Amino acid sequence: MDNLKLVAVDIDGTFVDHNNHYDLAEFRRLFKVMQERNIEFVVASGNQYPHLARLFPDDLRDQLNFVAENGALTLAHGREVFCGGLSWSTLTRAVAAVKAIPGANYIVSTPEAGYFPANSAEFFKKESEHYCASLAEFDDLAEIKDKQILKLTARVEPAEVPLIEAAFKDWPDLHVTSSGFGYLDMINPKLHKAFGLQILGEHFRIAPEQMVVFGDSANDQEMFKLAGRAYAMANAEQILLDLTDYRAPSNEENGVLRVLGQLLA
């Protein structure tokens, strides 16, 4: 791809394996090539920024770009270029709806931490440690009323995901999308990963057709539709497989780095 100027990767199920690992030595090698060619590297994920940042070495972190919280927070080379999210009224309505779902757990994302109810299931608290670098509990949702709310994430049984998506589909102020493994990101409908990429595109003067993206879940579909080329992982959900003919080996096989190596050869 001769006009490549930006590479964006999802994280879970795409860039890292099930242990949050990737081939760091190979990434360093490829990142050096990208820098030499003025190609921006973007981490585009539903996860919080502190968690995403800790996946990369300190010496590289401020040279990367991040679209975190499914587009609610975007950083360019360590500097915040956009922060948005949900209104308090939308959050309280959505939390009430989630609490009515049997067995559901939830976490509220803010720029500084992910907040969950103190009475959340223990398995959910443990899982949250995997996805969030900064966590806090609350006894009453009102305790975080004055914070910037980036998004709400619900955790349900995977088989229930389509039913939950259908239940929220008519909410004008909330977009619900699967991020895999029984997780549903509930975000401002104007915000998604493609929105973050557009912000970065304007910042760096990069057109969508100069972008290549990698993903595996439904919350990647907007950036698949935006970018000049999109690679669905071998383990991707069908909704992404239907959007592109380009494939990458699975996240357990360093699929992103393998394809990126070919693109940069």
Structural domains present in the chain: 6-83+191-263 (3.40.50.1000), 88-187 (3.30.1240.10)
> Of the candidates 72, 52, 99, 27, which has an alpha carbon nearest to the alpha carbon of residue 259?
27
pLDDT of residue 64: 98
Rg over CA atoms, the chain = 18
Beta bridge partners of 173: none
End-to-end Cα separation, the chain, in angstroms: 10
pLDDT of residue 62: 95
pLDDT of residue 166: 86
Q: What is the mean pLDDT of the chain?
A: 94
Residue 135 · residue 114 · CB < 8 Å: yes
The Cα–Cα gap between 114 and 167 comes to 24
Using DSSP, state whether 118 is helix, strand or coil: coil
The Cα–Cα gap between 27 and 92 comes to 41
pLDDT of residue 194: 97
The Cα–Cα gap between 258 and 152 comes to 33
pLDDT of residue 229: 98
Residue 84 · residue 148 · CB < 8 Å: no
Strand 135-138 to strand 114-117: parallel, antiparallel, or no bridges (unpaired)? parallel
pLDDT of residue 150: 95
pLDDT of residue 130: 81
pLDDT of residue 263: 97
- The angle formed by the CA atoms of residues 179, 104 and 48, to the nearest 5 degrees, is 40
Residue with tokens 């357990």: 252
pLDDT along the chain (265 residues), means of 10: 93 96 98 98 94 95 96 96 95 94 93 94 90 91 96 92 88 88 90 96 98 96 97 96 98 98 96
Within 10 angstroms of residue 121's Cβ, the number of other Cβ atoms is 14
Beta bridge partners of 180: 183
pLDDT of residue 55: 96
